[in-house]
Amino acid sequence: MTNRRRTVALVGVAMVAFAANSLFTRAALRDTAIDAAAFAAIRVASGALVLAVIARAGGRSATAGSWPSAVALFAYAIFFSLAYRGLTAGTGALVLFACVQATMIGWGLAHGE
């Protein structure tokens, strides 16, 4: 597979995963008794555990990273879990993708890109 096709395929997989994550989150918060904060905490903790296992299996240190990044990820998870309770799917997707784009563009501009 050429690099371009591989890139397109991986971007497609990532977009489907993001959409599925949004749908699963909405379903979990709508159809279960779990609150948004507990749900976000379980998501972040289980994600950290899986990443640690993958890093360890790949021979990498599972201790790399930073506390500010961890706090930012947790804040993202909390705020979007809370938002899924009150926003429609279309509005939530618009806000999410606008925030992601603004963050990426802002980061690039702040670092001279």
Per-residue pLDDT of 68-83, as tens digits, reads 888 888 888 888 778 7
pTM of the model: 0.60
Q: Which residue has the higher pLDDT, 38 or 92?
A: 38
Contacts of 96 by beta carbon, 8 Å cutoff, 6+ apart? 22, 80
Q: Across the chain, what does the average pLDDT equal?
A: 83
Q: Which residue has the higher pLDDT, 15 or 62?
A: 15
Model pLDDT, residue 5: 92
Q: Which residue has the higher pLDDT, 22 or 47?
A: 47
Does residue 43 surpass a pLDDT of 70? yes
